[in-house]
Each structure stands twice: as C-alpha cells, then as structure tokens.
A = this chain, B = another copy of it.
Amino acid sequence: MLKTIKKIGVLTSGGDSPGMNAAIRSVVRTCAFHNIECVGIYRGYQGMIEGDFKEMGPRSVNNIINKGGTILKSARSSEFRSPEGRKKAYDNLIKQGIEALVVIGGDGTFTGALTFNSEYGFPVMGIPGTIDNDIYGTTHTLGYDTALNTVVDCIDKIRDTASSHNRLFFVEVMGRDAGHIALNAGIAGGAEEILIPEEDLGLDRLLESLQKSKASGKSSSIVVIAEGDKIGKNVFELKDYVDANLPEYDVRVSVLGHMQRGGSPSCFDRVLASRLGVKAVESLLDGVSNFMVGLKNDTVNLTPLSLAIKGKSEIDRELLRVSDIITT
C-alpha cells in the first residue's frame, strides 16, 4: 500500500438508506487500522461547502452498525451544482488537510463526485447507498436488502387483512426508475401481479390476470406496483379503473412510503457495508480513485464512476418468468 494519503473525508448524500452507518463505521475504522486520519463531513456536499467537519476516531462510530439513517446526515445541495459552490468545498477540504473522499450515495452523489474530481483532480471513491438498487456495476446497493425485508413484512401484514376479507390490494412500493424492489418483494410477498417500470403489462392484461386469479380459486389478491411503473395511471386511478371494470373485487390501496428507507439494516447490508468501506479506503491508499466499490459475483469489485452513472442496473428477467409460474 502506498499510504501517501494522510487524511480521508467521508460523507453521505442523497436519500438515506440502511447500511450507510455501517459503511461510515467501516471507512472510519479502516482509516484507523491504517493509521490514517478520518474526517466526517456532515450533510453531504452542503456540509463540505459549509465546512461542517468532525474528526472521527474508531470509538466515534461505536454502536452505529445497527442503526438506520446516517449519523453524518444527508442533504441535497444545489450550491454544489455551481462552480462557486465546488470551489468553496475544495478550499475547505484543503484547509482541513483532507486528501481524498469516500462518498456514499446514489447516482446524483457520484455525478457530483465526478464533476468535482474533473475540476480539481481530487481523489474520490464511491459506495453505492440507495434502497432502489438502481446503480450499474453492483448487484446490490446498501439498503436494498433491508428495504426488501421491510416491504415483504408489510405485504405479509396486508395479506392478513386481505385474506380475511377476500379483498384485492394495490401496494405501491419505492422504485421510480427501477423495479427491483417491486419484483423481488412481489415474488416474496406472493403477489398475483407485479407492475414495474421496465415492463408495460397493460391494463387489459392486468384485468385478465386478476380475473384468472379469481377463477383459479384465490379469494384475495395483492398487486405490487413500483412508483415508476408504466401503466399510465397512478395507484389511485388504477384502483378506480379496476373498481369500475371488476366490480367483484373490493380494491384497497396502500402506499408504503418513506418507512421503506428506515430500519435497522439486515445482516447482508451490514456485511456488505463493512466490505465496501474497507475496499474504498484501501483503494485510495493504493492510489486508485474515481471508482465505485460494489459487489459482483459475490466479490467486491470496482467500476469506474463514469460507468456507474451511465449504465443501468437491469432487472433479472428470469424473475419475471418465475413470478408468472409461481402465481399459478
């Protein structure tokens, strides 16, 4: 290891996700392990601009591995989108003696890091933290596994009441651009139909599927819908449409909302966060930068940030088929 770097800054940015704290802990302790200083930057890029810094030693991240959210807070910073904002941020880093950055977040976070790097040559490494799992170059983003379990737990609860009343439920889950959550949680929740942005099922096929489900002897049904699905109606309009066309159903809507972002991270997310944090810091110490650390084939790997931003995290088409079969 080169270890020419003496001080690393770490921040979280964009929507928070479970596992961010575990990643912060890993970054801080990996720095301590290698006798590097570590500085926590509060409220993402905005805190970088405002100089909202705090030295972090291994004991300052005690008892956070199991906490949702981010102790470094997160914020969106419009100021960082301007050259003036980035200049201020850079000056603060220099003043503080910070020589490299680990940024934890999603697409927007990485875009900011890359712009910053292109202007100032500042070494950055990205850790993918978002429940949506919509980042290219990693099979899993931090928080995704936890969110899946949260959503499935909610669907299980809704099924209790759905099957007690022979009702049809539309459950809207997060995922504006990606159907990962809807597809996996839908299969795991035993959903009869799953609507995702990647596929336009079409209203006719949905009605048909619901009718078939009723005919097959199912007394209750759950349809899981990603926020960003392409069926052309929001979840409440969809309810009205089905109410009008399938009067035998008693449709209810549940929008799971922000609770999907919270909660204590799953074992998987904590272990992943620990691995990615170690790799991000050690890559910087090895002289590597401008990459995202991620998981591929169960192994920690590196993807250029530019690719992580441009690429698309495809859903697994096999799962669409599995879903069709097991809802028989």
Q: Hey, which bits of chain A sit against chain B, CB under 8 A?
A: 12, 15-16, 18, 20, 22, 25-26, 29-30, 32-33, 58-59, 62-63, 65-70, 73-75, 139, 145, 148-152, 154, 156-161, 163-166, 169, 184-185, 187-190, 216-218, 252-264, 266-268, 270-271, 274-275, 277-278, 297-298, 300, 316, 318-319, 321-322, 324-328
Chain A at the B interface: mostly helix, strand, loop or mixed? helix
Closest A-B pairs by Cβ, 3 of them: A157-B262, A160-B262, A68-B160
Contact present for A322 and B149 (CB under 8 Å):
no
Complexed CA–CA distance, A254 and B324 (Å): 31
Q: A258 and B169 in contact (CB under 8 A), knowing A152-B270, A164-B16, A217-B59? A: yes
Given known A-B contacts A254-B257, A278-B326, A263 and B160 have beta carbons under 8 A apart: yes
Is there contact, CB below 8 Å, between B258 and A69? Answer: no
How far does the alpha carbon of A259 sit from the alpha carbon of B260 in the complex, in Å?
A: 13
Question: What is the chain B residue whose CB lies nearest that of A72?
Answer: B164
CB distance from A187 to the nearest CB of B (A): 5
B-chain residues with CB within 8 Å of residue A328 when the two chains form the complex: 29-30, 32-33, 58
User: Once the chains are docked, how many angstroms separate the CA of A63 from the CA of B259?
Assistant: 17
Q: A160-B261, A278-B326 are in contact. List 9 more A-B contacts (CB 8 A).
A: A12-B164, A32-B328, A33-B328, A69-B163, A156-B264, A158-B259, A169-B258, A187-B271, A275-B322
